[in-house]
A and B are shown apart, each in its own frame.
Chain A
């Protein structure tokens, strides 16, 4: 909502307060002033001129040589190129020495040999937006009505000596979508009165009800419809002050009748529509729902196909206006209109919203209906428009209004106790202070002991419950005066849940391991949404995506993470590690909401360890990625319960991919991105993992119990085994563990070798075994016995021979 400072001061005594100060006060009491536009900023030295003579320029077809009276002793000669300039016009003249927006200085000039001492201005040249300039002046200079005097300040005449406050209204404050509404707000803030327009006009002998009948078929959508008729209007321009006010508030002037409806809309917040009475074709108005498929041409000459969700104003036969949104071309006020029907109605917000949404027609009118208009202003607005049409369009107002339907005009009564008010605010306001605030708001207030009985005018439809009154008091009293306390009462044990603690631990571990945390988009393309999914599901798609790239909910994090790797690779960053913790979305049969499963994903590429001057460089490989996971699971106390099994997955290297298994259940994967896939994604050799966090965090782990520090020495035996090349280390280790029994404390691989000195198709794997008995020093014989048993088991179960 734009608010002209000058216009506002007609309703409220602003006491000459600077616009900036007023804006600050309004903002601090609840309506944010988002900006102040200083009209005519940067314009100096523009006066009214009277074109005394106009002659064709001797050397230029499109130019005219004008003699203009600018209130000085002698007329000045000005060359003007505007097509509409003419003798006897009153125009805006930028004198020599004047400044126009953009610091454009007017100097004496010669145009094709003729002297020009100034410039006749268009409104655009004075800084008014083109879209606000009335069509007749859009291509040329602006022509003033005749009653202005040469030499007068043209800016004042154009109301360009004004400032406009731009209000950012929250949806509840639709009351401030009108000058009067803003006036009430400002009056409450400044503790002063509102001066309402005094509506006075004479009615003709003829009665409106003899001219028009109104009936409503859709009472829920349109509880009340008021029609007034003004006959014998003369269509012409509206008065200059009205045009300039409309422009200041962002509305383009058209003609007196249309401008009046717009003016009243801004003044009262009640949208009006003016029909050409004669072009209606019938003597009745019938309000009904449109039929599905019914067509209707709006006044922008566009044919609209309607549905039964739209409310239509008809002449009993066909549509004449799309209720609350836009009039019809068939009944629009035109140049030769003589009789006007003024519509002032209450249309249901949802109905209007539906139509404006379906047809992409958002207007000043629809915005107000959508938020609800003040039922008590319907009649006043119709009367005000009739008054102005009588005054400025020479019309005669027919007696009475034709009213169909009715609406509750009673103000709402809301009660509030002083105790509640003070309890909710944490304050100790006195009864009188509170009463005074309601008085400033012009709410009726009676008190009954501790209770305020507040009568809220219908213009404030947003106030319905005691809490709304609390807010009114608080905002006008001022939040700066609110004390600061902290909640009292029982102290609560706050903190993180186990899950949240573990998630933080995972993050810290991965960061310690050198990975940076990434956050990628949840929405992705159809293709990426299902790639690398740990579980396949039907995808979840947005009903109306903004693009195909962001249309589906992801089943895995890796595709996005790989996109981030690709982004970095493309920017000469070859070595990096990223991880992300985020949700994937699994559609579950019979469930309304998808299951949101939190996953951990990681991607690593390039050099992992490097010390350049020492010539050391280690690239990321499968074991780096796996090692990170192993370290993580060890951190979570799950080292013994996690295993890795060779696995295949789409988009993964067939020989370098493992399933991550927790207690026998597959919970994730780790491995190398398939080289072909890497090429397709534009990433270098990259290793990735993705693991479900739910089962990992849910796995119960035992707390730490102290184990005595060994008092007896352990005995280590290293063995090098020769096995078939396809035998996996994990299997051998398993055999060793089982055969080693309780004395075998540790076993780990320390060498793997294939090649020279090892038979083709075989490989050598060396293990280091540590035997230990917590209760005594092991003897050689005891160790030999177990160790031989281990070797025997390896021979029997895996065909493993000791390497000679």
Chain B
């Protein structure tokens, strides 16, 4: 009997060893360890053994069982691992094939510039004020110290609808409207972005529709040096920390004194096409709010002073991105628009 059991063990282990898949292994399990298996059969002959031998045989039978069972388990783990590996091998993909990209659209470059400027000034405590694109002659001109017949009206030939109504030529009327709302009580601290319109033939550098952002601060003791300091922060944030600004005297009817503000060119004064070899790029018009403008909007010009500045996002975007034709902004060719995806 002992001989039988040992043979069984050898036989079973050999079969386990040669099992090729889980099914075969399971068949082996059933064949050797099942209730009708050969080990059980062998044990049925235990009755013929002497009482001394019985426990010995019993123990031996259990050893054989355990050995076969353990071999099956080992083999099973081995086969399972193999099966998984085969499965994974089948599932392998070519990782160099393109992924399913989520395609995002993006903001118009003008919006990007405008929002960047808005956020910059919001961080300095400004609010965003907006106003109508169709304006009255009063807010567009008169309230800004441009009475009828003023020669400076020529500077911005306008699209009139009626004698009293026109498409605003700048966003400055929003300043006048906002100041009126404050009823002579400062501080006022606003940024006014928006579309504006002028009688220009569309070409690479002119557009009858374009955008503008103006800023206005009115409070007691606002000075020209505050204007310079504010614009310096603005220029450094928008164009880069290494940029400088320079003020040149100029004229706007709604400010006195008035200045043009140049930002140093990225060529660092070496001279390039963008700055026309001057080292400076004209970016803003600015000045101290004209006392007439303050008074007309209900502010006491003896108590309050203020500064205002205005700039063209179209021009800034053209400088920033090297765009050579303003008409691109309004043609909406997606080959253009898609170039301004966020890169953050």
State the A residues within 8 Å of B (CB): 27-30, 32, 170-173, 349-350, 353, 370-371, 423-427, 465, 467-468, 470-471, 474-475, 479-480, 482-497, 500, 504, 507, 510-523, 540-546, 550, 553, 564, 567-568, 571, 573, 576-579, 582-583, 585, 592-594, 596, 611, 613
Pair B224/A474 contact, Cβ less than 8 Å: yes
- Measured in the bound complex, the distance between the Cα atoms of B333 and A568 in whole Å is 6
Q: What residues on B are CB-neighbors of A479 within 8 Å?
A: 228, 246-249, 259
**A487 touches which one: B107, B136, B219, B335 (CB < 8 A)?**
B219
Residues of A near B115 (CB, < 8 A) are: 504
Question: In the complex, which of the residues A489, A493, A523, A577 contacts B221, with contact meaning CB atoms closer than 8 Å?
Answer: A489
| A171/B332 contact (C-beta < 8 A), A467-B288, A484-B228, A487-B226 known | no
A471 to B249, Cβ gap below 8 A? yes
Give the complex CA separation of A520 and B108 in angstroms.
11
Those of B264-299 within 8 Å (CB) of chain A: 288, 290-291
Does the CB pair B226–A490 fall under 8 Å?
no
CA distance A576 to B333 in the complex (A): 10
Chain B residues positioned under 8 Å from A576 (CB to CB): 334
Contact with A along B243-263 (1 / 0, CB 8 A): 000111111010011111000
A17 to chain B, nearest CB (A): 19
Q: In whole angstroms, what is the CA distance A611 to B329 when docked?
A: 31
A465 to B130, CA, bound (A): 31
Task: Point out the residue from B98, B159, B291 that lies within 8 Å of A467, measured CB to CB.
Answer: B291
- Given A171-B251, A425-B223, A492-B187: A475 touches B257 (CB 8 Å cut-off): yes
- Residues of A contacting B150 with CB < 8 Å? 171
* Chain B residues within an 8 Å CB radius of A585: 133-134
Please tell me if B217 contacts chain A, counting CB pairs below 8 Å. yes
The segment from B25-33, B61-69, B72-80, B118-126 that touches chain A is: B118-126
Q: List 21 A-B contacts (CB under 8 A).
A: A27-B248, A28-B249, A29-B249, A425-B224, A470-B288, A479-B259, A484-B228, A487-B217, A487-B230, A489-B221, A494-B121, A494-B125, A497-B127, A510-B105, A512-B105, A514-B105, A517-B108, A542-B160, A545-B159, A553-B161, A593-B136
Cβ of B201 within 8 Å of any chain A Cβ, yes or no, is yes
Most B C-beta atoms less than 10 A away, residue of A29, A486, A493: A486
Closest chain-A Cβ to B258's Cβ sits at a distance in Å of: 7
Residues in B neighbouring A488, C-beta threshold 8 A: 221
Known: A474-B257, A521-B209. A426 touches B223 (CB 8 A): yes
B108 engages A544 (CB within 8 Å): no
How far is it, in angstroms, between the C-alpha of A483 and the C-alpha of B257 when the chains are bound? 16
Q: Is the CB of B248 within 8 A of A28?
A: yes
Is A519's CB under 8 angstroms from B329's CB? Answer: yes
Minimum distance in angstroms from B150 CB to a CB of chain A: 8
Q: Which residue of A lies closest to B288 (CB)?
A: A424
**Bound form: Cα–Cα A516–B335 in Å:** 11
Q: For chain B, which range describes its interface: under 10, 10 to 19, 20 to 34, or 35 or more residues?
A: 35 or more
B128 at the interface (CB under 8 A from A): yes
Q: Which residues of A contact B253 (CB under 8 A)?
A: 171
B146 → chain A, closest Cβ, in Å?
Answer: 10
Tell me the smallest distance from the CB of A491 to a CB of chain B, in Å: 6
Contact present for A593 and B165 (CB under 8 Å) = yes
Contacts of B164 in A (CB 8 A): 592
Whether a CB of chain A sits under 8 angstroms from the CB of B149 is yes
Residue of A nearest to B201 (CB): A546
Contact of B152 with A by CB under 8 A: yes
Pair A471/B258 contact, Cβ less than 8 Å: yes
Q: Mark B96-130, 1 if CB is under 8 A from A, else 0.
A: 01101001111110110001001001111111101
Taking CB as reference atom, which chain A residue is nearest B334? A576
Alpha-carbon distance between A423 and B221 when the two chains are bound, in angstroms: 7
Shortest CB distance A617–B (Å) = 13
Q: Which of B104, B125, B160, B337 contacts A512 (CB 8 A)?
A: B104
Sample of 16 more A-B contacts, CB < 8 Å, known A487-B222, A510-B105: A28-B249, A32-B248, A32-B250, A170-B251, A171-B150, A465-B291, A482-B247, A507-B107, A514-B105, A515-B105, A521-B209, A521-B330, A522-B167, A573-B333, A585-B133, A611-B98
- B208 contacts A by Cβ under 8 Å: yes
A488 to B220, CA, bound (A): 9
| Residues of chain B lying within 8 A (CB to CB) of residue A512 | 104-105
Q: Name the CB-closest residue of B to A608.
A: B103
B151 at the A interface (CB under 8 A)? yes
Interface flag for B225 (CB, 8 Å) = yes
Contact A519-B108, Cβ < 8 Å, known A171-B155, A474-B257, A482-B247:
yes
| With contact pairs A515-B105, A540-B161, A596-B132 given, residues A426 and B225 touching in the complex (Cβ less than 8 Å) | yes
CA distance A585 to B189 in the complex (A): 28
A564–B335 alpha-carbon span in the complex (Å): 12
Q: What residues on A are CB-neighbors of B160 within 8 Å?
A: 542-544
Query: For the complex, is B240 an interface residue (Cβ under 8 Å from A)?
Result: no
Tell me which of A474, A475, A550, A567 contacts B332 (CB under 8 A): A567
Which listed residue (B222, B225, B250, B257) contacts A170, Cβ 8 A? B250
Cβ < 8 Å to A, chain B residues 168-203: 187, 189, 195, 197, 199, 201
A571 and B333 in contact, given A471-B249, A496-B122, A592-B165 (Cβ under 8 angstroms): yes
Contacting residue for B151 out of A370, A426, A516, A540, CB 8 A: A370
